[in-house]
């Protein structure tokens, strides 16, 4: 597992999305069917965010996961708000 994939999974696990479905596989995987035709877009790993049967452009950077999920940005690690 790459650092990028690990970072993406960390962001996915941190988000409260009770109805999310996460599927992972090697590029070219045909099972489960929702991975069919999905590629890493020339990157190490790609995340596809889909809603209502429509997928956004794939995310290839762990830092962009929260934005792609439509979540507010998290505070930087170590930040303490008032």
For 35-46, how does the pLDDT look when each residue is reduced to its tens digit (9 = 90+)?
A: 888 888 888 888
The mean pLDDT of the chain is 84
Q: Where are the beta strands (DSSP E) in the chain?
A: 50-51, 54-55
Mean pLDDT of 53-66: 88
Name the band, by pLDDT with cuts 50, 70 and 90, for residue 81: low
Helix ranges (DSSP H) in the chain: 3-14, 65-68
* Structure tokens belonging to residue 24: 């992972």
* 60 vs 81, higher pLDDT: 60
Q: pLDDT over 70 for what percent of the chain?
A: 89
75 has a pLDDT exceeding 70: no
Mean pLDDT of 67-74: 80
Residue 62 burial by Cβ neighbours in a 10 Å radius (0-12, 13-18, 19+): buried
21 has a pLDDT exceeding 60: yes
């Amino acid at each position: 597992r790459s650092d990028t994939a690990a970072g993406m999974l960390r962001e996915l696990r941190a988000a409260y999305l009770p109805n999310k479905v996460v599927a992972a596989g090697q590029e070219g995987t045909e099972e489960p069917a929702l991975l069919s035709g999905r590629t890493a877009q020339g990157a190490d790993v790609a995340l596809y965010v889909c809603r209502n049967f429509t997928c956004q452009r794939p995310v290839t950077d762990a830092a962009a996961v929260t934005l792609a999920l439509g979540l507010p940005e998290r505070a930087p690690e170590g930040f303490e708000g008032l």
